[in-house]
Amino acid sequence: MTIAIYPGTFDPITKGHLDIATRAAKIFEKLIIGVYDIPNKRLLFTTEERVELVRQAIVDLPNVEVEAFIGLTVDFAAKVGAKTVVRGLRATADFEREFEMAMLNKRLSPELELICLMAKLEYQFLSSSLLKEAASLGGNVDDLVPQHVAEALRKKIRSKR
């Protein structure tokens, strides 16, 4: 069985993330979305909340699973038996960062491959950081995230005020 991982913080998951996951799910027999548990980074949603938001978002993708992880991506890949890491690219800045991570991961785990999928044009600008900023300032981001994520985002922002 060909297994790939799609790691990220997904704080929160966007339609851009879902597009990459949906396309990767067509390539691999099994895709595991790895929700990175970063203890020292301030995120809007807890790890448990992010995992649940992703689970609800991928309910129609039968060969996609969600799992939280901490530590190195290469160790997570080895733990789940993945030979490929999937990442999405939006622009040149993404490429440089992904290239650096890919080279380090290749050094740490030479058998692990990286596949980058280009973001669709309508998601080229979309990042979770920009999305959260716009939402916190009252912007309507409903068309950029699944409905359950938009509701969770509004609720979380209200609770932080």
**Active-site entry in 15, 17, 87, 132:** 17
Per the annotation, the verdict on 41 as an active-site residue is yes
**Active-site entry in 30, 79, 90, 148:** 90
Per the annotation, the verdict on 97 as an active-site residue is no
Per the annotation, the verdict on 90 as an active-site residue is yes
Per the annotation, the verdict on 136 as an active-site residue is no
Compute the residue count for the chain. Answer: 161
Pair of tokens at residue 143: 């068309």
**Active-site entry in 50, 87, 128, 132:** 128
Which residues participate in catalysis according to the annotation?
A: 17, 41, 90, 128
